[in-house]
Amino acid sequence: MPWEKRFPTVLTAGCDDDTAATLKTLLGARGASVLSEQTAPAALQAFRRRPSDAVLLDLSSPDEDALVVLHTFVREFPATPVILLAHPSAMTQAATGIDLGGWDVVQLPIATPLLLHTALRNAMEKAETLRENRCAEAQFASLKEDAETPRNFGPVELERLANAIATIGKLRDPYTAEHQCRVAQLAEAIGRQVGLTDQELWGLRIASELHDVGKLSIPIEILCKPGKLNSLELDVVRAHPKVGSDLLASLGMPDHITQPVLQHQELLDGSGYPEGLSGSDICRNARLLTVADVVESMGSHRPYRPSKGFDRALGEITRNRGILYDVDAVDACLAVFSVPGHLGPSVARNSSGGCA
């Protein structure tokens, strides 16, 4: 949510009277309520009594306590943005301040209010993302903890559990959540095309909606990194099918759901991961899911790259039909996309997800 809509509280620390008044005017004009403390130590005390959403810390004064206070502050309140203010003569302190954990630097005197507003907005948005990530990670950790005792769920409980897991995933990573929804729609259509029973279709849909749940364990910087991943980052990403299937198994999900999750990155010729399985060693629903996943991934926009288009996606599965991808799955997918107005185009248009 844009910070202007939340009317944040901002604490200014160590500013001279003119600077404090300017900040109050500029930020107040955007709806922020601004409190001021003349020294950094006084600001730290005030914050402990009454936290604010962000702190603007002036490093320009000769008062060396400011950096000491900054060090203490970021250890005590790592989720609260601290934006450093510094005159050009104090840029060395500002650089040290960034090393100590300051989030951004704005130069004094403030010649362009836009830079101040932008720095604060970016910091507030980053803080919000960190909060959401921590919340999702805590829920994920409690799910794993709760998973010590395997249970035997019926279909209704499994559906509820799947929705709960998908909701947690959506909180942490809405792009992957939407991707999983669209993959599930396409996988279900492919499954229907190849003649799966209702029960098999149900299992395929649940597995598809959760197939990337293991990505909850991937740091967001890697998950959304544009460009190439290094080998360490690739190892982290490639662990996600195993992490996800282990999590679901420990929660009591049956094999017909965990196995497609585990095997959805396996390829027919054995070049996939995590096990390098080939041919019919890969379970059927995993082979169907893989095709839906490849087509949806290539056809949709991702946070780290634009869409490659569904034509290229269908070209990829056609080219590798029987080589990387299951023949029946490819034929079924092409059939789904060949029906005018059928699921294919709707998958392409749907960007809002909506599984859970």
Residues forming the site for Fe ion (CB under 5 A): 212, 293
Residue with smaller CB distance to Fe ion, 50 or 305? 305
Residue with smaller CB distance to Fe ion, 249 or 294? 294
Within 13 Å and on the Cβ side, how many CA atoms surround 145?
Answer: 6
**Which tokens in the block code for residue 237?**
């990403």
H helix runs in the chain, sequence order = 3-6, 17-28, 40-49, 65-76, 91-100, 113-146, 155-172, 174-193, 198-209, 220-223, 231-238, 240-250, 255-263, 284-299, 310-319, 327-338, 343-349
- Nearest-approach distance from CB 218 to Fe ion, in angstroms: 12
Residue with smaller CB distance to Fe ion, 20 or 186? 186
Q: 305 pairs with which residues across the strands?
A: 302
Residue with smaller CB distance to Fe ion, 127 or 177? 177
Cα–chain center distance at 296: 18
Residue with smaller CB distance to Fe ion, 37 or 293? 293
- Nearest-approach distance from CB 294 to Fe ion, in angstroms: 9
- Nearest-approach distance from CB 169 to Fe ion, in angstroms: 12
Q: What is the 3-state secondary structure (H, E, C) of 80-125?
A: CCEEEEECHHHHHHHHHHHHHCCCEEEECCCCCHHHHHHHHHHHHH
- Nearest-approach distance from CB 9 to Fe ion, in angstroms: 40
Ramachandran quadrant class, 111 (left: phi over 0; alpha: psi -120 to 50; beta: rest): alpha
- Nearest-approach distance from CB 168 to Fe ion, in angstroms: 17
Q: Is the CB of residue 306 less than 8 Å from the CB of residue 298?
A: no
Residue with smaller CB distance to Fe ion, 123 or 289? 289
- Nearest-approach distance from CB 214 to Fe ion, in angstroms: 10
Please, is 25 exposed, middle or buried when counting C-beta atoms within 10 Å of its C-beta (0-12, 13-18, 19+)? Answer: exposed
Radius of gyration from C-alpha coordinates of the chain:
26
Q: Which position's Cβ is nearest Fe ion?
A: 293
**Which tokens in the block code for residue 95?**
């650089």
Residue with smaller CB distance to Fe ion, 59 or 207? 207
- Nearest-approach distance from CB 234 to Fe ion, in angstroms: 16
